[in-house]
């Protein structure tokens, strides 16, 4: 706000619940609008964690290809000089009639406009011992727990390390490939899927590439198998109508999500999965002052349900910010239009598959393209440049090492 401009009193308050892709990017887009920069609205981001997690790149933490600061910058850093107020609290409940959000410490926030972007949580199946003995991989804390476990396994004197991943979706496949590369030839990685196929929503070309990558890493893929129980060092499955016990040093649960409890209690229209029903403009069907984005919402685009992915949340955030500004200006809102730009999966260290507009890239080139695409989508320009600079420096260091090694080898031959 210019120094000679008087502050505007009684500005509308936009409260954004959740600092994931949908919530954080909505806050950043809205704070960068002319309406917000002129002081015509107040923006509060409610997020209990102190760091944002760029989840598509979190798998690179397993293999040390990326460091935590690159994909998990602090909210304080990302929101500096934006005017967004960060409230590091958990949402306890929302009273839609009163337009009030109650936080975990009992604080009440009144809002004029609300954005639900709290994401989903792990959906634990009713499998004996699953919650007690299986690790998950959704948060930065999950990644840190997995890193500690992999470090212990890597330092052990066991000849074989048996890792079982439950769930054949994108997360399960990416985890399997990264862990196989992290632990090397000692690892016997087993991917178990209850359904008849892994990566079912993905195109066949991507699925075939995933199978090739897993075969190259000796990852055993087993579909049509139901898990009955998880123990400290084994799991029990039903395979071909027979009960089989499989030894396991590490079990990872990568199957399914569900709505968080405050959303489940919310008095608003939902689908059978507990997601909030939205209008084409991303507003709730029964509360036009409330928007819902990401995993928490059922968003339809030309009658088709938009996938609950980071790519979709990224696009929804841009439209939500524009529609919020339009609502405050008294202008007409525009419907959200999802554009599927393709699919990308990491398939091990320095390897990936990129499938976009009928073009498939595999291997190291795909890994570079994937990394650059995701760097371009990091939350702020400053952070993008820092990560890109680090990537370029490390790449140059590798090139110099290769050059020095080649020169030394040539000199040894000459002598």
% of the chain at pLDDT higher than 70: 93
Q: Are 137 and 231 members of one domain? A: yes
Q: Are 232 and 139 members of one domain? A: yes
pLDDT digit string (tens) for 240-259?
Answer: 899 999 999 999 999 988 77
Confidence of residue 264 (pLDDT cuts 50, 70, 90): confident
pLDDT above 60: residue 409: no
Q: What is the pTM of this model?
A: 0.90
- What secondary structure, in 3-state letters, does the chain show? CCCCCCCCCCCCEEEEECCCHHHHHHHHHHHCCHHHHCCCCEEEEECCCCECCCHHHHHHHCCCCCCHHHHCCEHHHHHCCCCCEEECCCEEEEECCCCEEEECCCCEEECCEEEECCCEEECCCCCECHHHHCECCCCHHHHHHHHHHHHHHHHCCCCCEEEEEECCCHHHHHHHHHHHHHHHHHEEEEEEECCCCCCCCCCHHHHHHHHHHHHHCCCEEEECCEEEEECCCEEEEEECCEEEEEECCEEEECCCEEECHHHHCCCCCECCCCCEEECCCCEECCEEEEEECHHHEECEECCEECCCCHHHHHHHHHHHHHHHHHHHHCCCCCCCCCCCCCEEEECCCCCEEEEECCEEEEHHHHHHHHHHHHHHCCCCHHHHHHHHHHHHHHHHHHHHHHHHHHHHHHHHHHC
pLDDT given for residue 329 in this prediction: 95
What range defines the domain where residue 245 resides? 130-256
Q: Are 283 and 195 members of one domain? A: no
Confidence of residue 1 (pLDDT cuts 50, 70, 90): very low
Q: Are 277 and 244 members of one domain? A: no
pLDDT above 50: residue 2: no
Q: Would residue 391 count as lying in a domain?
A: no
pLDDT above 90: residue 392: no
pLDDT digit string (tens) for 280-315?
Answer: 999 999 999 999 999 999 999 888 899 989 999 999
What CATH number has the domain bearing residue 171?
Answer: 3.50.50.60
pLDDT digit string (tens) for 336-361?
Answer: 999 999 999 999 999 999 999 888 99
Residue ending a domain, choose from 209, 226, 256:
256
Confidence of residue 201 (pLDDT cuts 50, 70, 90): confident
Q: Are 114 and 190 members of one domain? A: no
Confidence of residue 407 (pLDDT cuts 50, 70, 90): low
Residue ending a domain, choose from 256, 274, 295:
256
pLDDT given for residue 72 in this prediction: 96
Q: Would residue 317 count as lying in a domain?
A: yes
Q: Are 117 and 25 members of one domain? A: yes
Q: Are 24 and 136 members of one domain? A: no
Confidence of residue 405 (pLDDT cuts 50, 70, 90): low
Confidence of residue 144 (pLDDT cuts 50, 70, 90): very high
Q: Are 96 and 188 members of one domain? A: no
Residue ending a domain, choose from 340, 373, 391:
340
Q: Would residue 170 count as lying in a domain?
A: yes
pLDDT above 90: residue 415: no
Average pLDDT, the chain: 92
pLDDT above 70: residue 236: yes
Q: Are 224 and 114 members of one domain? A: no
Confidence of residue 27 (pLDDT cuts 50, 70, 90): very high
Q: Are 135 and 237 members of one domain? A: yes
> How many independent structural domains does the chain possess?
2
């Amino acid at each position: 706000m210019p120094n000679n401009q008087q502050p505007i009193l009684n500005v509308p308050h936009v409260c954004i619940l959740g600092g994931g892709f949908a919530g954080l990017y909505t806050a950043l887009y809205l704070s960068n609008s002319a309406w917000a920069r002129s002081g015509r609205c107040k923006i509060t981001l409610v997020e209990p964690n102190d760091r944002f997690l760029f989840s598509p790149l979190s798998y690179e933490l397993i293999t040390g290809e990326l460091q935590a600061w690159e994909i998990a910058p602090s909210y304080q850093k990302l929101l500096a000089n934006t005017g967004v107020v960060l409230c590091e609290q958990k949402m306890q409940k929302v009273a839609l009639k009163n337009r009030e959000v109650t936080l975990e410490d009992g604080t009440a926030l009144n809002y004029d406009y609300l954005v639900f972007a709290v994401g989903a949580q792990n959906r634990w199946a009713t499998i004996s011992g699953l919650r007690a003995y299986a690790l998950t991989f959704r948060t930065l804390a999950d990644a840190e727990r997995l890193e500690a476990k992999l470090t212990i396994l890597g330092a052990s004197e066991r000849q074989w390390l048996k890792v079982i991943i439950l769930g054949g979706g994108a997360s399960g496949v990416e985890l399997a490939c990264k862990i196989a590369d992290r632990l090397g030839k000692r690892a016997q990685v087993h991917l178990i899927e209850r359904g008849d196929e892994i990566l079912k929503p993905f195109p066949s070309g991507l699925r075939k590439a995933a199978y090739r990558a897993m075969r190259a890493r000796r990852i055993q893929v087993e579909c049509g198998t139901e898990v009955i129980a998880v123990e400290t060092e084994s799991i029990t499955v039903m395979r071909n109508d027979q009960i089989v016990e499989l030894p396991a040093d590490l079990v990872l649960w990568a199957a399914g999500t569900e709505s968080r409890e405050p959303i489940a209690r919310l008095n608003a229209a939902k689908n059978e999965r507990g997601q909030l029903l939205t209008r084409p403009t991303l507003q709730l069907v029964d509360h036009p002052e409330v928007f819902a984005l990401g995993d928490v919402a059922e968003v339809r685009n030309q009658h088709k349900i938009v996938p609950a992915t980071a790519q979709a949340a990224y696009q929804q955030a841009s439209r939500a910010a524009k529609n919020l500004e339009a609502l405050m200006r008294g202008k007409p809102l525009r419907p959200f239009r999802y554009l599927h730009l393709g699919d990308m999966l990491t398939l091990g260290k320095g390897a990936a598959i990129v499938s976009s507009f009928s073009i498939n890239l595999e291997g190291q080139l795909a890994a570079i393209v994937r990394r650059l695409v995701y760097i371009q989508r990091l939350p702020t320009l400053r952070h993008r440049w820092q990560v890109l600079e680090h990537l370029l420096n490390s790449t140059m260091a590798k090139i110099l090492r290769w050059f020095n090694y080649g020169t030394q080898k040539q000199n040894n031959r000459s002598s």
